């Protein structure tokens, strides 16, 4: 029977390592959710974290069709429609006609939304920027590589 250096069976060591990774991923997810909630609250107390995701995508990509947002954010189009109405009511989103198709509408972050997002402490920096900025460049590249592997459909590079 094969054993690891510390006398464990390899399957038990792998199970323990997987549990450790899972625990750390849950902590990271909780941190990101909390940071998104706090950021949304600072922009507008009625802004939901998912609405913030939409606004950030619109800021990054510019005016976008609701169907493209739904696909990029992996949600049903009805979720985008509901959030768009809420964002519009808050003055953070505007609809514009698509010149190529009069029936279709583009969703766009308003100047007020851009201004409020920029005014949040940390500005346009990502949620994790502050924690990762002090890491050595090689560690950042390795972390990005490992996340890319985790996020790929087959778990390969």
Look at residue 127 in the predicted model and tell me its pLDDT.
Answer: 63
Residues 53 and 115 placed together within one structural domain of the fold: yes
46: containing domain: 10-124
**Contacts (Cβ under 8 Å, ≥6 apart) of 47:** 40, 41, 87, 90, 92
Q: Tell me how far CA of residue 2 lies from CA of 8, 15, 24, 55, 99, in angstroms.
A: 9, 16, 28, 53, 67
Assigned domain for 4 exists: no
138 vs 99: which has the higher pLDDT? 138
| pLDDT tens digits, one per residue of 2-31 | 566 666 678 998 999 999 999 999 998 998
| pLDDT tens digits, one per residue of 109-130 | 999 999 999 988 765 556 677 7
**Contacts (Cβ under 8 Å, ≥6 apart) of 36:** 49, 52, 53, 127
Residue 23: its H or E element: helix 10-43
Look at residue 31 in the predicted model and tell me its pLDDT.
Answer: 87
Residues 91 and 156 placed together within one structural domain of the fold: no
Predicted structure pTM score: 0.74
Q: pLDDT above 90 covers what percent of the chain?
A: 62
Assigned domain for 27 exists: yes
% helix, strand, coil for the chain, step of 5: 60, 10, 30
């Amino acid at each position: 029977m094969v054993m690891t250096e510390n006398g464990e069976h390899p399957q038990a060591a792998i199970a323990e390592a997987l549990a450790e990774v899972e625990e750390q991923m849950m902590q990271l997810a909780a941190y990101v959710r909390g940071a998104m909630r706090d950021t949304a609250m600072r922009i507008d107390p009625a802004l939901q974290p998912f609405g913030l995701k939409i606004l950030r995508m619109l800021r990054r990509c510019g005016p976008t069709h609701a169907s493209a947002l739904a696909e990029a954010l992996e949600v049903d189009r009805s979720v985008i429609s509901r959030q768009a109405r809420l964002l519009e009511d808050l003055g953070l989103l505007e609809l514009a006609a698509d010149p190529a198709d009069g029936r279709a509408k583009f969703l766009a972050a308003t100047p007020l939304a851009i201004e409020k997002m920029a005014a949040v402490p940390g500005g346009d920096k990502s949620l994790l920027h502050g924690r990762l900025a002090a890491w050595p460049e090689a560690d950042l590249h390795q972390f990005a590589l490992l996340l890319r592997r985790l996020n790929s459909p087959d778990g390969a590079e």
